[in-house]
């Protein structure tokens, strides 16, 4: 089975030093940046709009990344963009949204169409970010729907870079064993 698939003449573009687990599936108009890691059972499906994943970003096990097509109901549709140094936890759904740089999306969270997560945000596990909502930089958000809880601490802000480097290193270890 080919886990990196062309769809409608759109072939995923994956940086040479990125790592995509053989049990992940990447389809269509997708770009994955340098040092990023795509873990087992992830589905990144850019079949009806584009998906862009930045550098040193970790998309963890069981996550689904998808988009919304252009139609009379959603003019222009919604692409999905995930910035640099982002950690996306296990079993997350990112759908037609934008996650900017240095964010942590907690396990089991859902981020819906048109939502924008500004840089340096933590979304707590199991949270729901409704369509069209913007999460302001520098805060922790938790809940379903999410609510702004408090400003991030210096330790939490430093964690973004640590997490990105840690998963980049771990991804390279996995890449060297395949």
Q: What is the pLDDT of residue 70?
A: 95
Give one word for 96, left, alpha or beta, with left for phi > 0 and alpha for psi -120 to 50.
Answer: left
- 23-68 pLDDT, tens digit each: 999 999 999 999 999 999 999 999 999 999 999 999 999 999 999 9
Lowest mean pLDDT among 18-27, 58-67, 169-178: 169-178
Q: What is the pLDDT of residue 2?
A: 86
How is the chain split into domains, by residue range?
Answer: 4-176
Residues 6+ positions from 66 with CB-CB distance below 8 Å: 43, 45, 51, 80, 93, 94, 95, 96
Residues 4-176, CATH architecture? 3 Solenoid (2.160)
pTM: 0.96
Q: What is the three-state SS of 85-113?
A: CCEECCCCEEECCEECCCCEECCCCEECC
Q: What is the pLDDT of residue 63?
A: 98
CA dist 19 and 58 (Å) reads 10
User: Which of 157, 140, 158 is CA-nearest to residue 149?
Assistant: 140
Confidence bin at 177 (pLDDT 50/70/90): confident
- 108-149 pLDDT, tens digit each: 999 999 999 999 999 999 999 999 999 999 999 999 999 999
- 66-103 pLDDT, tens digit each: 999 999 999 999 999 999 999 999 999 999 999 999 99
Confidence bin at 175 (pLDDT 50/70/90): confident
Residue 59, beta-bridge partner list? 38, 88
Q: Report the 10 Å Cβ neighbour count for 77.
A: 16
């Amino acid at each position: 089975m080919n886990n990196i698939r062309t769809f409608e003449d759109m072939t995923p573009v994956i940086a040479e030093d990125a790592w995509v687990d053989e049990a992940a599936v990447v389809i269509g108009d997708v770009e994955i940046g340098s040092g990023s890691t795509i873990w087992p059972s992830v589905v990144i499906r850019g079949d009806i709009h584009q998906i862009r994943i930045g550098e040193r970003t970790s998309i963890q096990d069981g996550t689904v990344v998808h988009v919304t097509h252009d139609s009379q109901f959603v003019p222009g549709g919604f692409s999905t963009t995930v910035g640099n140094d982002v950690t996306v936890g296990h079993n997350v759904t990112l759908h037609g949204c934008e996650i900017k740089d240095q964010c942590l999306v907690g396990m089991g969270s859902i981020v819906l169409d048109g939502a924008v997560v500004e840089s340096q945000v933590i979304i707590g596990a199991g949270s729901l970010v409704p369509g069209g909502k913007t999460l302001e930089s520098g805060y922790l958000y938790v809940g379903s729907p999410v609510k702004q809880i408090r400003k991030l601490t210096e330790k939490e802000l430093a964690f973004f870079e640590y997490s990105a480097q840690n998963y980049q290193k771990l991804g390279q270890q996995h890449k060297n064993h395949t």
